[in-house]
Structure 1
Amino acid sequence: MRLRSVLAPLAAPLAAALTVGLTAVTCVTAAGPAAAQNASSGNVPARNACSPAVSIERFSDALDKTTYEGTFVGNFSALAVDRDGAIAALSDRSALFTLDPKTLRPRSVVPLADESGAALDSEGLVVDRDGTRLVSSETEPSVRRHGRDGAVLDRLPVPDALRVAPAGRATANQTFEALTLLPGGRTLLAGMEGSLSGDTPGVVRLQTWQRDGHRDFRLAAQYGYRTDTGLGVVESAATPDGRLLVLERGFTSGVGNTVRLYLADLRHATDTARVNTLTGQDGVRLVSKTLLADLADCPSLGATAKQPQPNPLLDNIEGMTITGITGITGITGITGTTGGSRDALRVLLVSDDNQGATQTTRFYSLRVRL
């Protein structure tokens, strides 16, 4: 998004290639008795720990301020793993890149537009099981299905209340920022970045769609999710067990970005599709969430920042996808059998540089233990 503050089966070589493809940096060992205790108990990798659940393996600025076939490479708002293992990277300036899974260099780019040919403020991305692309925009908001060539194929229904005022109760640039497909491929979820008018500030709506064996999605349950003060939902990624990784982000001028990674669980949450306003005192059970890491606590790995940041590693992080599972004996596809409690998700993040001089297009490789 502008300056305001999927799962697909994949083979073992993809996750390994992503590890190789990101720029290598000097490893930093987590210091102190707590890190040593966590490492000895098997709760967290001792190297590059951000928290007991998350470690950062490396980062890359290699694509920052570059172009490909005349198109600026950046403004990335979402990532997804394509069916062939490539990385689909969505620019919020109406472009969809395909990145090499080993080097993360662009292989191709296609333009995106709405039905009338107008540019999209594209924010969320899912590669569907047939290879088509589901893209959310925070303008109307909308979720459109695009072919691999970028052509619009169809459009999903959206509840009236989630539309931007005066058509609905949403605020411009605060709508469908996050998009993910739950395991099994039948449930699609879009996360609103900000609250609806009338809802308690900080409580946002998560809208789902379902299908029964066909390509067409129909409106389904909706849930309430409470963000941390001053933060908004910018991305989500479904885990193999049906929970969600949720990325919350905010920006404070002169201070920098706050980026936190949560594990969320939709089970036991109230369906709020028919709840007009979420006040926090209406008996509605919100989606439960558990903090996995505040990325300001990660080792900087020698990163530099172009503007003040609480950690120079941080930037305007917006995109996230799960690329595989790593275990004590190696790496498997995310749909494969895993080897027990020491398995962890490989997670790829990217920042949106807004094509500006004070921000960086940066990829981050994380290891996340649930």
Structure 2
Amino acid sequence: MGEAGGVPGAAFDPAESACVIVGVDTYASLTPLPAVRNNLKALKAALTDRTIGGMPKRNCRVVLNPRTITAALRPVEQAVQAARDTLIVYYAGHGFLDSRQEGLYLTLPGTEAGKVHSGIPYTWLRSVLGTRTPPRRRIVILDCCYSGSVIKGMSAGSMAGAMSTASATQQASSRLGEALFAGMDGMEGVSYLLTSTPWNVEALAPEGEEYTAFTGEFLRVLREGIPAPRPVPAEGAADAGPSAGAASPPSGDPAAHLSLEAIYREVRRSLWEKNRPLPQQQSQNGIEKLPFVRNRAVRPVRPAPQAPQGPQGEHGAGGAPPEADDGATEEQTAARAQAVRKGRRRALVSALCVAAVAIPSAWWWQSRGDEPSSGPCSDDVALIGHSDALNGVEYEAAVPVDGLSGLAVAGASRAWALADNPPGRIFDLDLGTSGAAAPAARAVDMRTLHPTGGGRFDGEGLVLEKGGRTVLVASEAGPSIRRFRVSDGVETGRVELPRNLVEWSGPENLEALGASPDGRYLYAGLEAPLFRDGKARGRGLLRIQRFTGTPGGAYVADKQYAYQSAAGLRVSELVALGGDRLLVLETNHAEGQGNAVRVFGADLSRAKDVSGVASLQSEPVDAFAKKWEPVDLVTCPRGGAAAAQPQLNPLLENAEGMALGAAPLSTGPYKGRMPLFLVSDNNNSPHQITRVYALAVRLDRGAD
């Protein structure tokens, strides 16, 4: 923080300031977060270090694992009464969203999944901070899932169901017009808000790292400082790349200090480079531009002498900045000059970005025409091509071909695609290729599904049964697996689910469905964990249910396997290869970064049958399916691809359907590989694209 006794309104006075650092690392029923304990200890050390924050240790209180709401909020209330200048309140732990106006809930050690009353509404914390009493500045830093929901203009109010997570928030955010909370301003009683994620994104606690992803970078900046302006992604444009802008201390900041704005920019830049959730900030009255902590990367230099002002400006005839004569070395002077040039270029780039976004009809980003549109993505997967021919199309000029969330190959170049929009439809697609060439998909037929038995139906996974007369559909709502006749779309029966998949499922459950090539086995995959299973360091502890039976006949529950998703991702689809081997599509959407699309292989043959296991939290790693990763689509060629929102690779979209081709490729550079088709769900949004992908995949490898 600024010098003690600094000029009011120009810097923080650490002697008159306080901090309350709250965190939960141990839970009775949720995943433990061991990195949080490290966060708390290190953050207090930094804020009370005389070379960084300079706050007296007695003014900074750590609250680890408060058992009750009172135990968590009373220290904040006491600090409000004690601090006269600045109060910093930090929280790290699990966070969740509720459909009511409270939005974000912070958790306690006893918080239970599905029980809103066991958490702390963020609005309660905000009310404790008050508005009419000292301190003059209130800084809130939140490191938890969906923390960006407290930023003004972000809302969870349109979500359905309590404790909504990825799919509900993604559906809301895809409209890019998130409904504001009526009358709710996250800045009430707060001078500055810093959150670890956007409002619809989960925070990360990467396995093997000492701190959580956001706080680790925040601590690094406090400890190391910022030696020189560095590139950052532009606000609201995460794909702008490292050359999009530079973070420099705001005008007027002492060179030896960092502002909250400078810290935020550097943390954001670093997280962007690591493809991790991006922090968000909001402030009042320019507090973010004031000196906050000492910049440990800048050593004091002797004051610059007054330069005579010449007729050509305040820096004299040569126009040199005053830094040129402050005793710095030639290297330092050159670095400063380069920083000035970068700042000028940054202003131009920012203006161009604003202009591009302001044109409603323009794509957000499109790759150059000279970049390849096909080629290797990894050792095991190559991109044959993609097609946006279905985007914005209506079948027979009446029914939009969108919301495609499931895919099943019906022939060499034919497939059925499942739309999750009510009442539920399947479209007969001519893919325009058997896989050797880029697709050129078009809808040639359609069936409307007719579910029976009442209740909501939300089809997500699709299997075309052997013989082509019936399809099986996994419905997220319910949940259920239903059989429909292809000829007229009438429901003819259901597959009975095990009790635990019904009684302990959340709003995100049955998403993926696949059948073995001979139809003997049916596999159903969960998108998100059961309430009892939860997550481990951001990785979903999921279940894949295997059924045995015959195509068109009865299927009965057989074995249940444990599967761990990658951090921050959820299962969208699976393809059964035979021999209890699967391809699993894992995806997610992060506001400001776009989509993540990765395909994993899974070997269930040696995994434990967890049908009778109440919770996967206590299961050892060898109880889970063995995994390998054939491809992350971000590594695929991007030529010719367009994106209607920020993406790390414009090829990426909200892929939800996946199906293996009918036969190996017989020609071309990838002869012998199997074609793999993906389709994206545009969520009925003008800001997302219905896209079909054709990949060539090697299937002769497995888990190490």
User: TM-score scaled by structure 1?
Assistant: 0.81
Q: Distance in 1 between matches of 2:390 and 2:550?
A: 40
**Partner SS state of residue 234, structure 1:** strand
Instruction: Choose between structure 1 and 2 for higher RCO, CA contacts under 8 A separated by at least 6 residues.
Output: 1
The aligned counterpart of 1:158 is 497
How do 1:163-242 and structure 2 match up within 5 A? 163=502, 168-172=503-507, 174-201=508-535, 202-211=540-549, 215-239=553-577, 242=580
Distance 1:342 1:263, change over 3 A: farther
Match of 1:99? 429
Which among 655, 664, 677 is matched to residue 348 of structure 1?
A: 677
- The within-5 A match list for 1:352-363 is 352-363=681-692
Could you tell me how far apart the structure 2 residues matched to 1:119 and 1:170 are? 15
What CA distance in whole angstroms lies between the structure 1 residues aligned with 2:663 and 2:614? 40
1:188–1:306 distance in 2 versus 1, CA, 3 Å:
same
User: How much does 1:279 deviate?
Assistant: 1.0
Letter in 2 for 1:154: G
Paired residue secondary structure (2:664): strand
Partner SS, residue 162 of structure 1: helix
Q: In the TM superposition, what is the alpha-carbon distance from 1:241 to its structure 2 partner?
A: 5.6
The amino acid of 1:234's aligned partner reads S
The answer as to whether partners of 2:580 and 2:605 remain within 8 angstroms in 1 is no
Amino acid of the structure 2 residue aligned with 1:226: Q
1:74 correspondence with 2:409: no
**Identical residues among aligned pairs (%):** 36
Residues 128 and 59 of structure 1, relative CA distance in 2, 3 Å threshold? same
Aligned to 2:386: 59
| Aligned mates of 2:466, 2:495 — CA distance in 1 | 17
Tell me the residue number matched to 2:447: 110
Q: Give the Å deviation of 1:242.
A: 4.8
Q: Residues 75-100 of structure 1, C-alpha deviation per residue, up to 9 Å, x if partnerless?
A: 00011012686210000011111112
Where is the strand percentage greater, Structure 1 or Structure 2?
Answer: 1
Equivalences for residues 113-152 of structure 1 within 5 A = 113-116=450-453, 120-130=457-467, 131-148=469-486, 149-152=488-491
Cα 1:80–1:226 shift into 2, 3 Å: same
Query: Compared with structure 1, are the counterparts of its residues 57 and 342 closer, same or farther at alpha carbon in structure 2 (3 Å cutoff)?
Result: closer
Q: Which protein is richer in helix relative to its size?
A: 2
> Matches of 1:76 and 1:217 in 2, distance apart?
26
Q: State yes or no: 1:90 paired with 2:418.
A: yes
Superposed counterparts of 1:203-352, under 5 Å: 203-211=541-549, 215-239=553-577, 242-282=580-620, 285-327=623-665, 330=667, 343-352=672-681
1:144–1:231 distance in 2 versus 1, CA, 3 Å: same
> Secondary structure at the residue paired with 1:326?
coil
Q: Specify the code of the residue in structure 2 equivalent to 1:260.
A: R
Moved more, 220-229 or 77-86: 77-86
User: Deviation at 1:117?
Assistant: 6.1
From 694, 700, 704, the equivalent of 1:365 is: 694
Taking a change above 3 Å as real, the CA distance of residues 213 and 152 of structure 1, as seen in their structure-2 partners, is closer
Deviation by residue 1:39-93 (Cα, 9 ceiling, x = unmatched): xxxxxxxx61111111111110011011113111010001101268621000001
Q: Structure 2: how far apart are the matches of 1:237 and 1:277?
A: 26
Cα 1:90–1:356 change in 2 (3 A) is same
Measure how far apart 1:28 and its partner are: 5.2
Give the drift of 1:101: 3.9
Single out whichever of 281-290 and 252-261 deviates more from structure 2: 281-290
Aligned equivalents of 2:457 and 2:412: distance in 1?
Answer: 26
Q: Does the CA contact (< 8 Å) of 2:390 and 2:691 recur in 1?
A: yes
- Corresponding pairs, count: 320
1:304 Cα shift?
Answer: 1.1
SS of aligned partner of 1:279: helix
The verdict on how the C-alpha distance between 1:260 and 1:27 changes in structure 2, with shifts beyond 3 A counting, is farther
Q: Distance in 2 between matches of 1:312 and 1:195?
A: 30
CA distance in 1, matches of 2:457, 2:693: 26
- Cα offset for 1:240? 5.3
Report if aligned partners of 1:54, 1:366 keep a CA contact under 8 Å in 2.
Answer: yes
Q: Deviations over 1:238-293 (max 9, x none)?
A: 22565211100011111111111111111100111111110154576101110111
* In structure 1, distance between residues paired with 2:663 and 2:580: 15
Q: CA deviation at 1:208?
A: 1.3
* Contact 1:77–1:352 under 8 Å retained in 2: yes
Deviation at residue 140 of structure 1 after TM alignment: 1.0
Shift of residue 301, structure 1, vs aligned partner: 2.0
CA 1:324–1:207: 2 relative to 1, 3 Å = same
The 3-state SS of whatever aligns with 1:296 is: helix
TM-score normalised by L of structure 2: 0.43
CA shift in 2, pair 1:199/1:228, >3 Å: same
> In structure 2, what is the equivalent of residue 34 of structure 1?
none
- Between structure 1 and structure 2, the one with the greater Rg is 2
Measured in 1, the distance between the counterparts of 2:465 and 2:639 equals 35
Q: 1:224 to 1:360 in 2, by over 3 A?
A: same
TM superposition shift of 1:200: 3.7
Which sections of structure 1, spanning at least 5 residues, go unmatched? Answer: 6-24, 31-46, 332-340
In 2: Cα distance, 1:344 partner to 1:50 partner = 14
The 10-residue stretch of structure 1 (93-102 or 139-148) with the greater mean CA deviation from structure 2: 93-102
CA distance in 1, matches of 2:454, 2:412: 29
- The worse-fitting range, judged by mean Cα deviation, of 357-366 and 97-106 is 97-106
CA distance in 1, matches of 2:458, 2:552: 28
1:53 counterpart letter in structure 2: D
Q: Aligned to 2:500, what secondary structure does the other structure show?
A: helix
2:372–2:639 contact (8 Å) kept in structure 1:
no
Change (3 A) 1:198 1:189: same
